[in-house]
Amino acid sequence: MVTAPDAASDSEWLDTMVKRLMAELEKQLSTVAGATADDSTPQARAADARTLSSLERTLERLSRLERERAMVKEKKIAKHAQDGARAALECRLDKRLAAAAKKGAAAKPQR
């Protein structure tokens, strides 16, 4: 049984679950596609129709999850880029402040 993980690995868990659901969806679609109309009973065809309906809903949910995952990844990438730019700017400002402080200390007359 798979349990939901902590928030740190939530994205990885979701990726794994989506992949597993897609694999299961493909397996069920293959099973339904393998059934021929010649040897199926009306009950079997009705069951296949219900299965296909369920698979359609599952595929819609998976598509929505994929879109949401893509948006989350884009936000993470944008935030990471922004954080990197901010850190670089802070570093440059710190260096300039340190240089200005040295100049200020050197310009002060000693008593």
Segments making up each domain of the chain, as ranges: 47-105
Contacts of residue 52, defined as CB under 8 A and 6 or more positions apart, other chains included, come to 32
Query: DSSP assignment, residue 40?
Result: -
The pLDDT-based confidence of 8 (bands split at 50, 70, 90) is very low
* Mean pLDDT estimate for the chain: 77
- Enter the pTM of the model: 0.47
39 or 42, which is more confident: 42
13 or 81, which is more confident: 13
Reply yes or no on whether the pLDDT at 94 is more than 80: yes
79: helix, strand or coil: helix
Listed residue (78, 32, 36) closest to 56, CA to CA: 32
Cβ(25)–Cβ(62) below 8 Å: yes
The pLDDT-based confidence of 19 (bands split at 50, 70, 90) is confident
